[in-house]
Structure 1
Amino acid sequence: MKNGTKPMYQQISDDLKRQIATGELAVGAKLPTEMELTKVYQVSRITTKRAVEILAEEGLIIRRPGRGSFVLGEPQKHERKQTAMFGAVVAGIAAPFGQCLIETLSEEVWEREGSLLLLQSHGKPDLEADAILKLKQLDVDGLLIWPSAGEYLGAEILQLIVNRYPFVLIDRQVKGMETKSVGTNNVKMTKEALAYLFSQGHRDIGFVSMEPSFNSSVEERLEGFIESHADQGIAIQREAWLVDAKADLLYEQLVDLLQRNPTLTALFVTEYELAVRVWESLQSLGYRVPTDISLICFDSPEELAGGVCFTHVKPR
């Protein structure tokens, strides 16, 4: 195949375009590698590399690092997306944070004339992994991930990091790894919550959370809790910490906490849904909130069931 009027890379590119147009290379088919093309056309790899680049520039193929190049189709039928399409994987949508997150993401994408595909993991790592795979298969331009709680990130997220796939973690940081993340200034917000309790005369304050090592946000809130006491010169009461709260054992755990710390006048709870369970358990134990004990948490609606005002700090 020689044509003196065109460079060789252009001739190869034209031949591959012809194969795509005629269906010899069908949509979704994997393009021969650059090394394979060098053997077919008897040229250098630099030449085939440029030919393949032309196909990618014209939107005829998509290049997948580590996997190869795949046919998209004829340019007039398969033009590249003119607007961005993002995928979002969220742990849940029932909690106030989840509702606010989805509303904000939708507004931001809409204002930029983009599209948002949303999948919910319900906080389950296996569903999270499936959601990430599905969105990648849909060729989204990037992912926004509010990960499920756990000591380690899921394998699919780690694979995104290794492959340098564009994604942003929400409300989670990964120590020692280069990732983009956005989240609340948990230390600052916790200190604001504690400052309010201190201003109300509270000195004996308990800390209630799920396992901190499973969640960087919880770790940061514990850090803010400790710093607040240090700033006020108030001794930390570690025996007043419940840092492994479990839904099915919470009632018994609170009984133990309050029996060991009878002088507690307030509890700081790291998240809304856990705070609801704490409040319900306190009610069952005969405590009136806030008359007998005060309760403050992150991200609560203005009122709970029964019209009880719930003091909280809004993540920002």
Structure 2
Amino acid sequence: MEVHLYEQLYRHIVQEIQIGKLKSGDRVSSEKELAEQFGVSRITSKKALEKLAEAGVIKRIQGKGSFVAHGTAGELEQKRHWEERIIRMPEENGRQLIGFIISNFSDEFGLQLLRSMEKQSAEHKYDLIIKRTWGSREEEERAIQLLGSLGIKGLIVTPIHGEHYNEGLLRLVLDKFPVVLVDRYLKGIPVCSVYTDNKKAAKELTLHLIERGHEQIAFLSPPVENTSTLEERLLGYTLAFTQEGLKLNEDYCLTNLKGILPINMHGTASESDKNTVKHFLEQYSDVKAFVVSEYLVATMLAQVIDALGRSLDDYDIVCFDSLNDHFGKPIFTHIQQDEKRMGEEAVRLLVSQLSGEAVPEQRIIEHRMVVKK
């Protein structure tokens, strides 16, 4: 993949110059900034900048950065000047591009998914371009437009959390552009989706706690509205109570924790979440069991319990996609999603669409529960 991506970065910068977003003397994004923006290696971004410098499109000044080279005429003449300098590089081995848009990826979820998709794409002779949106609807819309301008043939998307669907994504679906959603689906929208049965998984976690003798069980999550993954997990939690004939206390459902969302990762929301959880623990001291929709929320809960001077051994915390400790043991009892299989299926279903084949709207990938000893 890395052999080809520098060409896409090259053309992206040229396009920004053509449309006037970058003008003579403007600073161009650094190797590090380009690598983070496009989800590529520093080697790839460095090569793109080197090619731009060789073509005279930019000027690289050691210790200061890269800048758009100065033209000798006005903006219209400058635009023609850049168009004449575009390097027309043939597609190597005839490979075509597919895109992957995701809010973020990390060790607990997303990294294995990405590796699987890269490998599967290469096996089908496609190059995969990755764009992270950091949970921003504007960035998601921009990513769709950017990948479209680069000529992708199909798109895999993990939509951001939110109350409204992205109009750009809906347009692609309605236009029958090859799209596969991964890790969630859009209610009422006929688009191929690959995901875990989160309702079943959350029900299993809740029943596990009930079997351990708990009846007062809380549910912690970011806002669930219009995020199928979280909605299904909340539903699975409630169904477990119904199945066992237990009363569900709605006050035990905290679904307003926003600190772990990518768009809030560097803000003050995480401190607000800790205060919310602290207040809950103090108000409902008898609650010792928690079903948590996200691993990072589970770790935050554990930190608050510890900060209150309480023993974690007195609590049962279960979640999704937990990491292991330094000894290779799970930190929490958790649902382990099969990211490798999800990635493989997402690419396979997209390639099937590109070949004109009919694909199912739903592809559910089996999960497993890992119990902390």
Determine if the TM-score, normalized by the shorter chain, exceeds 0.5: yes
Deviation at 1:99, TM superposition (A): 0.9
Letter in 2 for 1:297: C
> Is the CA contact (8 Å cut-off) linking 2:137 and 2:160 kept in structure 1?
yes
Deviation at 1:304, TM superposition (A): 8.1
Q: Tell me the equivalent position of 2:318.
A: 296
Letter in 1 for 2:146: K
Which of 88, 99, 116 matches 2:100? 88
In the alignment, the residues of structure 1 paired with residue 127 and residue 258 of structure 2 have an alpha-carbon distance, to the nearest angstrom, of 38
Deviation at 1:269, TM superposition (A): 0.8
Deviation at 1:133, TM superposition (A): 1.1
Which of 202, 207, 223 matches 1:211? 223
Find the residue that maps to 1:206 and give its secondary structure: strand
Which of 182, 198, 201 matches 1:186? 198
Per-residue CA shift, 1:4-39, capped at 9, x if unaligned?
xxxxxxxxxxxxxxxxxxxxxxxxxxxxxxxxxxxx
Letter in 2 for 1:191: K
Deviation at 1:81, TM superposition (A): 7.8
Per-residue CA shift, 1:92-120, capped at 9, x if unaligned?
02252211210221122123232211111
Map 1:6-45 onto structure 2 (within 5 A).
Answer: none
Q: Tell me the equivalent position of 2:280.
A: 257
Q: Tell me the equivalent position of 2:212.
A: 200
The alignment's C-alpha RMSD in Å is 2.4
- Pair 1:177-2:189 in alignment: yes
Structure 1 gaps of 5+ residues are: 1-76
Per-residue CA shift, 1:154-205, capped at 9, x if unaligned?
2211221232211111222222222221111001111221222222222211
Q: Tell me the equivalent position of 1:310.
A: 332
Per-residue CA shift, 1:264-307, capped at 9, x if unaligned?
11111101122222222222122322x121211111111289x9
Deviation at 1:143, TM superposition (A): 0.2
> Is the CA contact (8 Å cut-off) linking 1:95 and 1:272 kept in structure 2?
no
Per-residue CA shift, 1:47-97, capped at 9, x if unaligned?
xxxxxxxxxxxxxxxxxxxxxxxxxxxxxx979985453110111022522
Map 1:36-185 onto structure 2 (within 5 A).
Answer: 82-185=94-197
> Is the CA contact (8 Å cut-off) linking 2:322 and 2:330 kept in structure 1?
no
In the alignment, the residues of structure 2 paired with residue 195 and residue 125 of structure 1 have an alpha-carbon distance, to the nearest angstrom, of 36
Residues 258 and 137 of structure 1: CA distance in aligned 2, closer, same or farther (over 3 Å): same
Letter in 1 for 2:291: F
Letter in 1 for 2:279: D
Higher relative contact order (CA 8 A, sep 6+): 2
- Pair 1:245-2:261 in alignment: no
Residues 177 and 209 of structure 1: CA distance in aligned 2, closer, same or farther (over 3 Å): same
In the alignment, the residues of structure 2 paired with residue 174 and residue 189 of structure 1 have an alpha-carbon distance, to the nearest angstrom, of 19
In the alignment, the residues of structure 1 paired with residue 315 and residue 323 of structure 2 have an alpha-carbon distance, to the nearest angstrom, of 19
Find the residue that maps to 1:153 and give its secondary structure: coil
Per-residue CA shift, 1:105-146, capped at 9, x if unaligned?
112212323221111111111221111111111111100011
> Is the CA contact (8 Å cut-off) linking 1:304 and 1:310 kept in structure 2?
no
Residues 78 and 94 of structure 1: CA distance in aligned 2, closer, same or farther (over 3 Å): closer
> Is the CA contact (8 Å cut-off) linking 1:203 and 1:234 kept in structure 2?
yes
Q: Tell me the equivalent position of 1:279.
A: 302
Query: If you compute each CA radius of gyration, which structure gives the higher value, 1 or 2?
Result: 1
> Is the CA contact (8 Å cut-off) linking 2:295 and 2:319 kept in structure 1?
yes
> Is the CA contact (8 Å cut-off) linking 1:239 and 1:261 kept in structure 2?
no
In the alignment, the residues of structure 2 paired with residue 161 and residue 111 of structure 1 have an alpha-carbon distance, to the nearest angstrom, of 26
Letter in 2 for 1:299: D
Letter in 1 for 2:300: R
In the alignment, the residues of structure 1 paired with residue 238 and residue 326 of structure 2 have an alpha-carbon distance, to the nearest angstrom, of 28
Letter in 2 for 1:168: V
> Is the CA contact (8 Å cut-off) linking 2:323 and 2:330 kept in structure 1?
no
> Is the CA contact (8 Å cut-off) linking 1:95 and 1:273 kept in structure 2?
no
Which of 280, 290, 315 matches 1:267? 290
Give TM-score, length-normalised by structure 2: 0.59
Residues 292 and 164 of structure 1: CA distance in aligned 2, closer, same or farther (over 3 Å): same
Structure 2 gaps of 5+ residues are: 1-88, 260-268, 338-366, 368-373
**What fraction of aligned residue pairs are identical, expressed as a percent?**
27
Deviates more, 1:141-150 or 1:273-282: 273-282
Deviation at 1:209, TM superposition (A): 0.7
Q: Tell me the equivalent position of 1:19.
A: none
